[in-house]
Structure 1
């Protein structure tokens, strides 16, 4: 999933605490080929993209104010790893509107399921 846009309360600076900020997320999930190959053209044979969108939307809505993108990314990666077929996940977030003099500021987290 690329450039999934949400608005959340995030940031440690006072100017960031005054309103929601636009955040873009990129999600890569790693699933064994045998568990994500369609033989009957059925959704239950693969990872449903709605799972990613709905999980991110729900968790972001229930977090209140988040200080760090790193904490937000950690939480999102943990949530993605709860999906049974997912063996590893990489999530990046960027805040594109924080500083006018540079491109987006962001973070990326990669985690492999341990059990």
Structure 2
């Protein structure tokens, strides 16, 4: 099995927390992640996300349950802007990004770029 980058797993954990919408435990969260990551790996990521202020937690018995504290769309958007800002050729990055969109994603992007109809 190929190992994923820690940043990718962190993004998957954030997405799973966003989908949960409420407090969730490490074991429940882990079961919804692809690739069967180790419990301790998911727990470490949750601790790091908590340290970064991206999740809140509450103790239930001997364990913590976690909930996303930030707007997922804003978080992902900020990451995309950071990648573009540090790219040597942002136009090529945008071009590749658009080429890799599904037809539905491309249609939605066109709608967003065109703005509301007046």
Normalised to the residue count of structure 1, the TM-score between the two structures is 0.30
Task: Name the structure with the higher strand share.
Answer: 1
Of structures 1 and 2, the one scoring higher in RCO (CA 8 A, sep 6+) is 1
